[in-house]
Structure 1
Amino acid sequence: MAQQNQQQNHQQNQLVMEVDEPVPQTEQLRMDQTRNDAGGFVWVVDDMKRFRRFVVLGSETPTYNTDDRKLGRENAQSLLRLLKNGRGIEVVNEILKYSVEGRTAKLNPLILAFAICARLGDLKTKQRAYEVLDQICRIPTHLFLFVVNSKILSKPGSGWGKASRKAIKKWYTQKEAIKLAMDVTKYQKCEGWSHADIARVTHPMSDKPSIQCVLKYAVRGYEEMIASFPMSQDNTNELETLLNFFKAVEEIKKLTTKEEDRVVELIEGQNLVREHVPTGCLGSMKVWNALLKKMPMTAMMHNLNKMTSIGLLAEGSPQVKNVCDKLQNEDLLRNARIHPFNMLLALKTYESGKGEKGSLEWKANVEITKALEKAFYLSFKNVEPTGKSYMLAMDVSGSMQASECIGASTMKPHVASAAMAMMTARTEEHHEFVAFSHEIVPMKISSNMNLDEVLKICNEIPMGSTDCAQPMLYALYNNLKIDVFIVYTDSETYYGDVHPREALAKYRHHSGIHNAKLIVVAMTSNGFTIADPDDPGMLDIVGFDSAAPQVMREFILGNF
């Protein structure tokens, strides 16, 4: 078998070298090409696509980096050009769509783009931006980031105009009073700004006593609020509900572990959440038991480690049954829209018994581990197919099992690769799977396999040197029609006679799929890439965190 693969590898390389002479860059290959300043023919990436790239990636270069990077106007030049060319309303509508549909990997680029439209756009763009502010900035964290970016973008000495004040007033005054009360107590500060700071510059006001009550609390504090809105039999039910809620929020702040029974009463009586509970009480099993009863799916997953560490999720306990039932409830999983990779990351982190950051440690509960694994398989139903034809190529060199994924350190690169292979097999109709080192090995991965079965197939393939050109050469040699090549590697490539970029160019030319894409997922970042940064059909994923699958999907669908 090894001799047969080596022979095919040699034939693939020879094919690339012997096929028709490539069209020189000084000649037009297709009608949709244009001549650049140097005289070569290229494809133009229009400003709207570059803008979408910025919103999703945080930069206009085709690289998604798991590390947070400081953003600035210089990274959004395409957006500024769109505004200058009178396309501001179109841009705001695009931001709204991406926000509502949850299509961005990180929050900061989207909020920065929105602030640029609101502060630097023309009159109609500003009007449209402020019209939809409450739809894009849905929680206080979003609003705080918008205010911070707006201040940075504003000219020195300029204040908040009538339109901006009106929009922020709407954000505070158009909600249900109890929902606003939960928001201002759950999310109190961000980026050095508080609700009181925002109120001082925008002056939100309302004719509704209930909203006035919440604003008074957020800006002036509990004592002044209760002086203005005392408990009384004449209060409406809505106002009385608010006063009781704020009273509970203030009381719980002062309680200690010795008063855990009262903490539980307040949580259950007023639907308080973890953010309301003082840190000193978060070591109590009773407190976490009260929080768990109404905890949403995503919050529950994030807190499994803590609840296990304090002993709440002991084997055979009713709390474990509650958690396992939720994790295996298809309706809850679907409504939470949890991606399979996020579920796998939760599983591997829980199994590891220690957090990526901090000193928290726990002994994983076997029942919960099994429930998380089942939830991983059930969550594949949340992924919508793209309808594209895939080749998913997994580097099986030794280094893929020796290191950790950047951005997901609890997972080895070969495990993350196998998980994504499963996702493709279960959601896409047209797919090919190959393993590669210095040679290519087809893999039979079907939609009914579990993760261990996929890993077993990968582990049986002999390791070798890394040649990342192999997937494209294999597709060319076998006349396969592939829209997207996804290569999972550590980028430690040196073997072979053909550069990956040249292999893709040859494949595009001879297959007729001129927009065939290549995604290079560098599971570990060593500062190098095999993707051409000047090719709009190539995307770098530097490290692999929970946001990477969404970035890849947006790129595959041509949204940036």
Structure 2
Amino acid sequence: MSDDETMEIEEDEWTGLSIQQGAEVPVSERLAPYQTLNSTEGYVFKTDYETRLRRFLCIGTDGGTYYTGERDLTRENAGCIVRMINNGDGLKVVETIREFSVENKACKANPIMFALALSCRSNDPTTKEAGYKILSDVCRIPTHLFQFVKYCQEMNPYGKGWGRAHRKGVSTWYQNYNKKKEGILMLAHHVTKYKARFGFSHQDVFRLCHIKTTYDALGYLVSYICRGKAATENQWKMSWAMRDEGFEQSELKKVIDLLKVFEDAQKCTNEEQMKRMILEHHLAREHVPTGLLKSKEVWGALMRHMPMTAMIRNLGKMSSLGLLESDSFGEQITTEKLKNEQLLKAGRIHPFTLLVAIKAYSKGKGELGKLEWQVNRRVVDALQEAFYLSFKHVKPTGKRYLLAVDVSGSMNVPVMGTPIITARDAAAAMMMVTVRTEQNYDVVAFAGGLNSLTKLAISPQDNITAVLEKCSRLRFAATDCSAPIVDAIQNKKLYDVFVVYTDSETNYGSVHPSQALKNYRHISGVKDARLIVCGMASNGFTIADPEDPCMMDIVGFDSGAPGAIHQFVTGTI
């Protein structure tokens, strides 16, 4: 818990204005030096196009709201991109797209692919050329490429739009694998793992982009995908007759052999044979025929090289097959991985992801379908240990926080976007993230009398059970989203970030939260004070002013929301 001395300021440092005085400042007067005059002669916090671009790339909208559910992306909700390109800032758009993709700043891939497609489909030749140049950096797997192709095609109102630049750009994406060590082997893995997405297959894309190849590893792979093995071998007979002594060690030979492995895998009906192929060639689940995906032996082989995120997601499946029985090898390898700090860090596993996994696995059955399993207590314990270990790898922001949580009975409802946990569990987990990673914070609850706040004594030593128990003891009050800000003004407290956690019943009292935040900035001198309202069980509300770059709504809550919050607090968006 932060020391009161670090959060309070002296009387002579405070402007001395009351909340009533602050609320009376008309919009026709400037509250802060960086406000701008809008079309109705009122002063507002200006959100420039670049800020809107960064918001769009991170959360999928250029306003101030992160939506859990999938929403259609259109030119209208990415208008900032079009305006920047039209204003001659197309290269800045492309640079920012690459930054958000390569540095993993985006919550979801969709906005990144949409923005890149919009850039490549622009009428500005410089922007278009720059967009296609970063295609391989941004579209790292075929799924991304297929989504990019889909967006490009939807944006052309006059037809499918496979012009020269587009054909060359997409062809180059495949050809760039040649620049990597054993890159065509990697491409062979990718095209057989991600065969088709978004209505496109590799065969479709090869045909549409008119890819040009020679008698090399890439050429063989393209021919194999488009024409099949028999036709390819027949076409390549003359080339093979001219093999040199180095053919046996060439990438072409390795690609031919690997494609034979994938063919054999698809035809395989023997568990032991499939297991050997997985272990020898690191085959993915997608390479395994459906009939063998119920095999304990096959999953036992898959789990040895399974990435952390995939392992956590498939704990129920592996338990249902008996792979995680007490004192088994599967139990040992799984619990060791979950307790490995370096693997958690390398996998960028957020505490919220592990909380969801704990809740899902502990139920002993899936949300959909008929999958059931015997819960292994040691795996649950390892997940809980991983949950607390993962806090060490959340980067602190160094900001001053006031966290305000709804403690009403309505918080015991499923989270929109992650229905396996409740809004109260999600709120407790997210409060713990801040308490365990930040130095300066206060926590209050909407509890006591009408529109009142009660201080919550939460420490880094508390676990989630203790946090929930402290919240359950309180008599709840209405969730007035402006109350924490008003309280900070009245008690002369300095904060950089106000966060409200509620279910869906967001409200405000005598002053709107946006106005309360403006008052706070003016009175306290914290000119970029931010407000985040998380309506975790909501499917739609609006608190944030879209023209204010320092206000954000979270509608629903999923594994991408913590990342959006971090990017917002640190000023990235």
TM-score, structure 2 normalization: 0.89
Is residue 2:38 matched to residue 1:36? Answer: yes
Q: Which amino acid aligns with 2:531?
A: L
Counterparts of 2:490 and 2:562, CA distance in 1: 29
Counterpart of 2:409 in structure 1 is 398
Is residue 2:468 matched to residue 1:461? Answer: no
Cα shift at 1:524: 0.9
Deviations 1:528-554 (A, max 9, x none): 444445543221111001101111122
Secondary structure, counterpart of 2:401 in structure 1: strand
Is residue 2:190 matched to residue 1:183? Answer: yes
Contact 1:517 / 1:538 at 8 angstroms: preserved in 2?
yes
Secondary structure, counterpart of 1:488 in structure 2: strand
State which of 296, 301, 314 in structure 2 corresponds to 1:290: 301
Contact 1:398 / 1:464 at 8 angstroms: preserved in 2?
no
Counterpart of 1:428 in structure 2 is 438
Counterparts of 2:122 and 2:509, CA distance in 1: 51
Counterpart of 2:219 in structure 1 is 212
Contact 1:253 / 1:277 at 8 angstroms: preserved in 2?
yes
Is residue 2:260 matched to residue 1:250? Answer: no
Counterpart of 2:13 in structure 1 is none
Deviations 1:216-257 (A, max 9, x none): 22222333344456899963323333222211211222234x
State which of 492, 508, 521 in structure 2 corresponds to 1:508: 521
The percent of aligned pairs where both chains have the same amino acid is 44
Cα shift at 1:169: 2.5
C-alpha spacing 1:457/1:270, structure 2 compared with 1 (3 Å)? same
Counterpart of 1:167 in structure 2 is 169
Is residue 2:442 matched to residue 1:442? Answer: no
Counterpart of 1:3 in structure 2 is none
Counterpart of 1:479 in structure 2 is 492
Deviations 1:123-146 (A, max 9, x none): 111111111110011100111111
Counterparts of 2:508 and 2:44, CA distance in 1: 29
Contact 2:416 / 2:536 at 8 angstroms: preserved in 1?
yes
State which of 512, 519, 538 in structure 2 corresponds to 1:525: 538
Counterpart of 1:368 in structure 2 is 379
Aligned residues: 543
Secondary structure, counterpart of 2:314 in structure 1: helix
State which of 231, 241, 248 in structure 2 corresponds to 1:224: 231
TM-score, structure 1 normalization: 0.91
Secondary structure, counterpart of 1:434 in structure 2: strand
Secondary structure, counterpart of 2:445 in structure 1: strand
Q: Which amino acid aligns with 1:44?
A: K
Contact 1:56 / 1:105 at 8 angstroms: preserved in 2?
yes
Q: Which amino acid aligns with 2:136?
A: D
Cα shift at 1:475: 1.6
Cα shift at 1:191: 0.9
Cα shift at 1:423: 0.8
Counterpart of 1:488 in structure 2 is 501
Counterparts of 2:511 and 2:42, CA distance in 1: 23
Counterpart of 1:314 in structure 2 is 325
Contact 2:32 / 2:522 at 8 angstroms: preserved in 1?
no
C-alpha spacing 1:342/1:479, structure 2 compared with 1 (3 Å)? same
Secondary structure, counterpart of 1:102 in structure 2: coil
Secondary structure, counterpart of 2:299 in structure 1: helix
Counterpart of 2:273 in structure 1 is 262
Secondary structure, counterpart of 1:120 in structure 2: coil
Counterparts of 1:227 and 1:208, CA distance in 2: 13
Counterparts of 2:544 and 2:77, CA distance in 1: 20
Cα shift at 1:449: 2.6
C-alpha spacing 1:274/1:20, structure 2 compared with 1 (3 Å)? closer
Cα shift at 1:322: 0.4
Counterparts of 1:141 and 1:526, CA distance in 2: 28
Which stretch of structure 1 is more off in the superposition, 467-476 or 77-86?
A: 467-476
Counterparts of 1:526 and 1:96, CA distance in 2: 31
C-alpha spacing 1:242/1:158, structure 2 compared with 1 (3 Å)? closer
Q: Which amino acid aligns with 1:541?
A: I
Contact 2:203 / 2:225 at 8 angstroms: preserved in 1?
yes
Cα shift at 1:370: 0.8
Which stretch of structure 1 is more off in the superposition, 33-42 or 16-25?
A: 16-25
1:265-414 correspondence runs (5 A)? 265-401=276-412, 403-414=413-424
Q: Which amino acid aligns with 1:220?
A: R
Is residue 2:209 matched to residue 1:202? Answer: yes
Counterpart of 1:9 in structure 2 is none
Is residue 2:248 matched to residue 1:236? Answer: yes
Secondary structure, counterpart of 1:411 in structure 2: strand
C-alpha spacing 1:337/1:527, structure 2 compared with 1 (3 Å)? closer
Contact 2:271 / 2:298 at 8 angstroms: preserved in 1?
yes
Cα shift at 1:409: 0.8
Counterparts of 1:161 and 1:464, CA distance in 2: 61
Counterpart of 1:137 in structure 2 is 139
Q: Which amino acid aligns with 1:372?
A: L
Counterparts of 2:359 and 2:426, CA distance in 1: 10
Counterpart of 2:80 in structure 1 is 78
Cα shift at 1:159: 4.5
Contact 1:436 / 1:471 at 8 angstroms: preserved in 2?
no
Q: Which has the higher contact order (CA 8 A, sep 6+)?
A: 2
Cα shift at 1:329: 1.0
Which 5+ residue runs of structure 1 have no aligned equivalent? 1-14
1:149-168 correspondence runs (5 A)? 149-157=151-159, 159-168=161-170
Counterpart of 2:6 in structure 1 is none
Counterparts of 1:330 and 1:143, CA distance in 2: 33
Counterparts of 1:157 and 1:408, CA distance in 2: 39
Counterpart of 1:549 in structure 2 is 562
Secondary structure, counterpart of 1:482 in structure 2: coil
State which of 90, 108, 124 in structure 1 corresponds to 2:92: 90
Contact 1:169 / 1:203 at 8 angstroms: preserved in 2?
yes
Deviations 1:396-437 (A, max 9, x none): 111112x11111111111111111111111222221111113
Q: Which amino acid aligns with 1:435?
A: A
